[in-house]
Amino acid sequence: MPRRTLDNPIVLAVLGLLLEQASHPYQMLAELRQRSDSHAAAITRGTLYNTVAAINEAGWVAVQGQQRAGNRPERTVYALTDAGREELVRRLDDQIRNPEREFTRFLGAVTYLGALGPDGAVEALTERAQRLRQRTAADEERLASARSAGAPRLYVIEAEYALCLARAETAWIDSVIDDIRTGALTWPTT
């Protein structure tokens, strides 16, 4: 029972992967997991199979054939169609042109930062900043090693973007912590 609307972020990821090479869902997932944690985190298997089936019905991919290794379940290999290629470009263009208001968990939490009290807020924010820094360092290393392995910059551009945002967030958190400490950001006495 595949879906109708097909406006979810997985669609773009699937089309993008298939642009590079024909593949079966399980392999796509493995590929996504390997490339980027953020991609993979947002996808579960059930959803992926369902989405691929729907994309197939939409005519953006076609079954290229069945494969079988030993007596494992058969793998259905999909390839991008011309319509799929067009759709990919259309979506890409649209999603880049139109910024959406994203609602992240952190944004939701920051809204009620007050409820932690000044000390609790400083403590929690400090830990986040520290974790962010660790993660950023690890990501920078991965990026550097990808580069020195000869990966064209275009292929790692999304890592650059993610890093840029992470750095901005870290800097912001630092400044808030500072403002709480110096009294530039105070708790209203209610």
Partner DNA sequence: ACTGTAACAGTCTAAATAGACTAAACGCGC
Partner DNA sequence: GCGCGTTTAGTCTATTTAGACTGTTACAGT
Amino acid symbol at 158: E
> Quick one: what does residue 182 bind among a copy of itself, DNA, none, with the CB cut-off 5 to 8 Å set by partner type?
none
Q: Is 42 in the site for DNA (CB under 7 A)?
A: yes
Q: Which residues contact 85 (CB under 8 A, 6 or more apart)?
A: 15, 19
Per DSSP bridges, beta strands 75-80 and 61-67 are antiparallel
Q: What are phi and psi of 23, to 5 degrees?
A: -165, 165
Find how far residue 93's CA is from the centre of its chain.
Answer: 17
| 131 contacts a copy of itself (rule: CB under 8 A) | yes
Q: Which is nearer to a copy of itself, 67 or 106 (CB)?
A: 106
For residue 106, with 0-12 CB atoms within 10 Å meaning exposed, 13-18 middle and 19 or more buried, which class applies? exposed
Considering only 47, 130, 145, 175, the residue that binds DNA (CB under 7 A) is 47
Binding site for a copy of itself (CB under 8 A): 9, 12-13, 16, 19, 36-39, 41-42, 88-89, 91-93, 95-116, 120-121, 124-125, 127-128, 131-132, 135, 152-155, 157-158, 160-162, 164-165, 167-169, 171-172, 176, 185-188
The residue ranges that bind DNA (CB under 7 A) are 1-6, 8, 10, 24-27, 30, 42-47, 49-51, 54, 69-76
